[in-house]
Amino acid sequence: DRNWDQDYKPEDVGTFSVVSEEVLRNRVIKKKQNVEMLKFNLTMEGLFKGFKDLVGLSGGAK
């Protein structure tokens, strides 16, 4: 931080306005897709795909 020697000046927070119901109805709401979790799930499926065959070799013993 290079402004340690400057006085603190609070920022103007501004104002918010309420929109009409019609504007809200016409808004597009997008949901975030977690790409990292999707990649992780695909990787885990690939990693453990071969374990299905190993269960048959052990005779299903626990």
* Residue 40: its H or E element: helix 35-47
Residue 18 confidence (pLDDT) = 92
What's the confidence (pLDDT) of residue 32?
Answer: 75
Cα torsion 19, 24, 27, 31: sign = positive
Q: Is 4 exposed, middle or buried (0-12, 13-18, 19+ CB in 10 A)?
A: exposed
Distance CA 18, CA 31 (A): 22
pTM of the model: 0.28
pLDDT of residue 54: 55
pLDDT greater than 70 at residue 53: no
- For residue 17, what is the DSSP state? -
